[in-house]
Structure 1
Amino acid sequence: MNTRIISYVISNLFKLMMFLLLFPLAVSVYYQEGLKLSMAYIIPIIILGISSYFLSNKAPENQSFFSKEGLVIVALSWLLISFFGALPFVISGDIPNMIDAFFESVSGFTTTGATILPEVESLNKSIIFWRSFTHLVGGMGVLVLVLAILPKGNNQALHIMRAEVPGPTVGKLVAKMSYNSRILYIIYIVMTIIMIILLLAGGMSFYDACIHAFGTAGTGGFSSKNTSIGYYNSAYIDYVISVGMLVFGLNFNLFYLLLLGNIKQIFKSEEAKYYLLIIFGITALICVNIYPTYTSISRLIRDVFFTVTSVITTTGYSTVDFNTWPTFSKTLILFLMFSGGCAGSTAGGFKVSRVVILAKKVVREFKKIGHPNKVVNINFEGKTLDKEMLDGIDSYFILYSFTTLILLLITSLESDTFLTAVGSVFGTFNNIGPGLDATGPTSNFSIFSPFLKFILSLGMLLGRLEIIPLLILVSPRIYRKRD
């Protein structure tokens, strides 16, 4: 294993973290929050600077690395940024307990949006900003950003992209990975700026517009208001954020095709079609199911569409408490929690592409009944999927199910109801945020012990990185000189 390149990339990650911490520091200075709040960012910056210097102060001669180095880099990086991201919460005193702060930091960077805070409006403004800013940073992937700013466009960095960007495959937009990362981030930032402008037009302050644009772009869901988006009670804001969540749940490669003017290719995206079909189909089903509880059809459609886009994109913003909906609607919500958004988006979950491919595999088995030797290919996005890809999806589904079961068993030890346990696991492992019952949209995760908060923090990381990198990190075999 090339440990020098691992140290070098993490060293650059620390330098990036130092730069990112300047943003909440600037917010703290602007709002005159005092020296203590400034030190909440200055101290981590100093620690990161010293750590970066001792890790690697120059690029190694051998910069080659392969899949195992990429997986280790990703796992270590996400654990370390979550730890350092928690320090401002602890030092400021806003979240004095380190486990609670780690949970909040992991939730931010993984764009989960789950929280241990009973209310947020009493927090310092720079802390609220940092909390939501982690969504923006983690949405596209912190290492994707590192790759975008590294001077060399090492194509072996595809191993990092594959480990960090969610979905069954990672495609390159252009030849060099550094250019690929820059294109993704430019699209991401421009779309975030557009969200800020649209929210400003809806009457939000610049500060609140930034907070909620970060949560929408990263599909995270942290808000500066205790009642989330419901605070504004604005049809315009609800629809702007609903459409924003929907858009950020799409594969970002589609936006690059849009820039190239390749509209036909966009409309050929099979995953996008199923993604939109699920959103509008389930919106219609829930509307029919809860129609008797509403007096206004326009408000019914607005609330349901917002909730469906929020859950499937794993954002977690809320305008209503879906805990009060009938069982049928809550069952559909659970399916959305499982499904998640598109591959290559900022959304979490199992991913629509995998759900569609698994469904096609079931259909194939039915077609082969009575004709066991019949060859039935599975096509997706205009391509015939090979056995390696199909086996990989099967393996991930088994691993996903097994991990969910383990987390569910552990969480059930501290849950009053089965629905609370299921909702908590789905809400964290699928990076959604709110769960069901005791951890629903109007509740939080403070009810759990420090031990379970730590386990659910690991669950959020497992979900964001799609399990394998963290498992590889604790595998003794990966550190052997020869495999």
Structure 2
Amino acid sequence: MLKRTYSHILGYTGNMLIGFSIVLMIPVIFCFLYPDEWKNSWYFVESSVITFIIGFALRYPNKTDKNNVLTVKEGAIVVLLVWTLNILFSALPFMFSHTLNFTQAVFEATSGWTTTGLTVVDVTKISKLLLIWRSLMQYFGGAGFAIIVTSSIIGPAGFGFYHAEGRTDNLLPNVKKSAKMIMLIYGTYAILGMFFYVLAGMKFFDAFNHSLTALATGGFSTRVNSIGEFNSKTIEFITIILMVLGTTGFGVHFTLWKGDFKTFIKNPEPWLLFSLILFFTPFVTNNLSSIFPNFSEAFRHSLFQDISALTGTGFSTVSFNNWPGFSMMALIILMIIGGGMDSTSGGLKLYRVFVLLKLIVIEVTSFFLPKNVVKSYVVWKGQMKRIIDSSTIKEILLIFALYFITYITGVMILLGHGYSVMDSLFEFASALSTVGLSVGITTPNAPISVLWTETVGMFLGRLEFMVVLYALAKMFRDIDILIMERKETKRIKSD
């Protein structure tokens, strides 16, 4: 039974890698637009061939059954394997081109696939193909590469992947249709973003990359000073729209696409998103008034950075070197809260925060009610009304606990390297919540242990802990079962 299960798992992993080998070839297409880049295309061709060979080696001896439905725990193992292998193979072009060493390349690839945006490359010195590759990693990482390839290759088995990926809203009756709908929504927004960026004065290359990474709430930029280098209020406004679209859950988007505005306004996440922005922006604006020439500039940069932090995008328009402590703490809080469930954002997620806030209100108000009165606890999520039971609350509290345990551990490691408390709190919140804003800790010259600490933080933050725990728990349990079976077999033979 275990042999068959893991044969399916390896087969599905092979399928994913075969699909990923095609994705690795996408940057080569841009050589027709930028002929000088043909010399850099071989880095992607070589990476694609290696990925295909390994994918085929896993797929060929392990036939998959299209009618087999993976459990969430089995799906978690595949997601863990695929994300790990995708990151490693995505790092190859950086290493083959001698742009980055192994640690740096894995860091950059992890930052890309987890839609974080922290970077160790000098964007002024690397090839256009590598810049495009960074943006594509964030785009596919945001959409959930695993669910896209799964839905197109292995049919019903995709159920386990879809939910292991952190998606809980089935937009349509089956996973394949849901994934196609996600890509339709995602693709439409990306094209519109490119169009409006070009209208605002961006060159096509910049518009293409920034539209993908803004929508993915990723934050990789083709410019050293991010969005701030364009110094354009119009471009900043377009970016804000894309960031908000990216941080909105796909289930919420689908209600709008269906024209179901009644259901849309019942969803708490958009309300909480705008409430937090409305609450924090005035305070941060006032706090920044001393470092900007006028109120208008303080408000402009406060609004952009607040939205960038909360949505988990990581674009910036200014440096944080001279920011007051209050404003820095505000950004840290917003990064930790994070964006919407079933979106491209990281963090604790608005839905979970809302559920706990509502629980507090209900518990306080129930104190004044008769003991025999039972209040139902209902929250809208996407198209559905969900009853919040004890198991849901336990899961949320578990994720919160794992998040803060990891956060404190990461901050302590950074502190151990001599960074200040504020910088350590800020940088690791950015990594763990897959944001990408930086105070300067993340650089090519950062200690290897710092880069690996942030790499692990980004990975755990993107997969939201439970996927990793499910996968590891199942694998260790299966290993234990296998050992026991072998011992039993040996005992029987000896008898």
TM-score (normalizing by structure 2): 0.90
> How far has the Cα of 1:366 moved from its partner?
3.3
One-letter amino acid of the structure 2 residue matched with residue 23 of structure 1: I
One-letter amino acid of the structure 1 residue matched with residue 155 of structure 2: G
Q: Which residue of 2 aligns with 1:91?
A: 96
Q: Which residue of 1 aligns with 2:488?
A: none
Q: 2:37 touches 2:128 (CA, 8 Å); kept in 1?
A: no
Question: Which runs of 5 or more residues in structure 2 are unaligned?
Answer: 485-495
Q: Which residue of 2 aligns with 1:105?
A: 109
Map 1:72-151 → 2, pairs under 5 A:
72-95=77-100, 97-117=101-121, 119-150=122-153
> How far has the Cα of 1:334 moved from its partner?
1.0
Q: Which residue of 2 aligns with 1:380?
A: 379
Tell me: CA distance 1:408–1:294, structure 2 relative to 1, closer, same or farther (3 Å). Answer: closer
Write the distance in 2 (CA, Å) between the matches of 1:111 and 1:34.
25
> Is it true that 1:184 corresponds to 2:189 in the alignment?
no
Q: Which residue of 2 aligns with 1:416?
A: 419
| TM-superposition CA deviations, 1:387-415 (whole Å, max 9, x none) | 11111111111121212122222222213
> Is it true that 1:160 corresponds to 2:185 in the alignment?
no
| TM-superposition CA deviations, 1:51-96 (whole Å, max 9, x none) | 122111374247232121111011111110000000000101122x
Q: 1:173 touches 1:253 (CA, 8 Å); kept in 2?
A: yes
Name which of structure 1's ranges 47-56 and 446-455 shifts more when overlaid on structure 2.
Answer: 446-455
Write the distance in 1 (CA, Å) between the matches of 2:293 and 2:408.
40
Write the distance in 2 (CA, Å) between the matches of 1:465 and 1:378.
27
**SS of equivalent residue, structure 1 residue 325:** coil
Q: 2:340 touches 2:349 (CA, 8 Å); kept in 1?
A: yes
Map 1:277-296 → 2, pairs under 5 A:
277-296=275-294
**SS of equivalent residue, structure 1 residue 274:** helix
Q: Which residue of 1 aligns with 2:71?
A: 66
Tell me: CA distance 1:182–1:479, structure 2 relative to 1, closer, same or farther (3 Å). Answer: farther
One-letter amino acid of the structure 2 residue matched with residue 162 of structure 1: H
Tell me: CA distance 1:66–1:383, structure 2 relative to 1, closer, same or farther (3 Å). Answer: closer
One-letter amino acid of the structure 2 residue matched with residue 202 of structure 1: A
Write the distance in 2 (CA, Å) between the matches of 1:424 and 1:34.
34
Q: 2:25 touches 2:44 (CA, 8 Å); kept in 1?
A: yes
Write the distance in 2 (CA, Å) between the matches of 1:161 and 1:372.
43
> Is it true that 1:32 corresponds to 2:31 in the alignment?
no
Name which of structure 1's ranges 103-112 and 360-369 shifts more when overlaid on structure 2.
Answer: 360-369
Name which of structure 1's ranges 317-326 and 306-315 shifts more when overlaid on structure 2.
Answer: 317-326
| TM-superposition CA deviations, 1:195-249 (whole Å, max 9, x none) | 0101011111111101101110111101111111111111110111012101211
Write the distance in 2 (CA, Å) between the matches of 1:88 and 1:392.
39
Question: Which runs of 5 or more residues in structure 1 are unaligned?
Answer: none
Write the distance in 2 (CA, Å) between the matches of 1:137 and 1:409.
32
Write the distance in 1 (CA, Å) between the matches of 2:215 and 2:304.
15
> How far has the Cα of 1:184 moved from its partner?
0.7
TM-score (normalizing by structure 1): 0.92
Q: 2:166 touches 2:464 (CA, 8 Å); kept in 1?
A: no
Write the distance in 2 (CA, Å) between the matches of 1:352 and 1:297.
29
**SS of equivalent residue, structure 2 residue 170:** coil
Write the distance in 2 (CA, Å) between the matches of 1:478 and 1:358.
35
Number of aligned positions between the proteins? 471
Q: 1:120 touches 1:128 (CA, 8 Å); kept in 2?
A: yes
Q: 1:251 touches 1:345 (CA, 8 Å); kept in 2?
A: yes
> How far has the Cα of 1:370 moved from its partner?
8.1
Map 1:185-200 → 2, pairs under 5 A:
185-200=183-198
Map 1:359-374 → 2, pairs under 5 A:
359-367=357-365
| TM-superposition CA deviations, 1:454-480 (whole Å, max 9, x none) | 222111010000012223444412545
> How far has the Cα of 1:446 moved from its partner?
3.1
Write the distance in 1 (CA, Å) between the matches of 2:260 and 2:391.
30
Write the distance in 1 (CA, Å) between the matches of 2:132 and 2:194.
14
Q: 1:36 touches 1:92 (CA, 8 Å); kept in 2?
A: no
Q: Which residue of 2 aligns with 1:329?
A: 327
**SS of equivalent residue, structure 1 residue 324:** coil
Tell me: CA distance 1:34–1:67, structure 2 relative to 1, closer, same or farther (3 Å). Answer: closer
Q: 2:16 touches 2:150 (CA, 8 Å); kept in 1?
A: no
Write the distance in 1 (CA, Å) between the matches of 2:343 and 2:221.
21
> How far has the Cα of 1:147 moved from its partner?
2.5
Q: Which residue of 1 aligns with 2:429?
A: 426
Q: Which residue of 2 aligns with 1:228?
A: 226
Name which of structure 1's ranges 218-227 and 417-426 shifts more when overlaid on structure 2.
Answer: 417-426
Write the distance in 1 (CA, Å) between the matches of 2:366 and 2:342.
32
> How far has the Cα of 1:376 moved from its partner?
4.8
| TM-superposition CA deviations, 1:26-66 (whole Å, max 9, x none) | 22454334665222111111111211221113742472321
Q: 2:138 touches 2:218 (CA, 8 Å); kept in 1?
A: yes
- Please say which structure displays the higher CA radius of gyration: 2
Q: 1:153 touches 1:176 (CA, 8 Å); kept in 2?
A: no
> How far has the Cα of 1:253 moved from its partner?
1.4
**SS of equivalent residue, structure 2 residue 289:** helix
Tell me: CA distance 1:414–1:36, structure 2 relative to 1, closer, same or farther (3 Å). Answer: farther
Write the distance in 1 (CA, Å) between the matches of 2:337 and 2:126.
33
Write the distance in 2 (CA, Å) between the matches of 1:479 and 1:193.
47
Q: Which residue of 2 aligns with 1:477?
A: 477
One-letter amino acid of the structure 2 residue matched with residue 378 of structure 1: Y
**SS of equivalent residue, structure 2 residue 35:** coil
Tell me: CA distance 1:194–1:479, structure 2 relative to 1, closer, same or farther (3 Å). Answer: farther
Q: Which residue of 2 aligns with 1:349?
A: 347
One-letter amino acid of the structure 2 residue matched with residue 38 of structure 1: S
Name which of structure 1's ranges 1-10 and 138-147 shifts more when overlaid on structure 2.
Answer: 1-10
**SS of equivalent residue, structure 1 residue 77:** helix
| TM-superposition CA deviations, 1:110-157 (whole Å, max 9, x none) | 00001123x31111111111111111110111112113322x530x52
**SS of equivalent residue, structure 1 residue 353:** helix
| TM-superposition CA deviations, 1:411-438 (whole Å, max 9, x none) | 22213211222122111111011244x4
The runs of at least 4 consecutive aligned structure 1 residues that moved more than 6 Å come to none
Name which of structure 1's ranges 408-417 and 363-372 shifts more when overlaid on structure 2.
Answer: 363-372
Map 1:263-302 → 2, pairs under 5 A:
263-302=261-300
Q: 1:472 touches 1:478 (CA, 8 Å); kept in 2?
A: no
Name which of structure 1's ranges 28-37 and 342-351 shifts more when overlaid on structure 2.
Answer: 28-37
Q: 2:37 touches 2:127 (CA, 8 Å); kept in 1?
A: no
> How far has the Cα of 1:163 moved from its partner?
1.7
**SS of equivalent residue, structure 1 residue 380:** strand
One-letter amino acid of the structure 1 residue matched with residue 7 of structure 2: R
Write the distance in 2 (CA, Å) between the matches of 1:165 and 1:33.
40
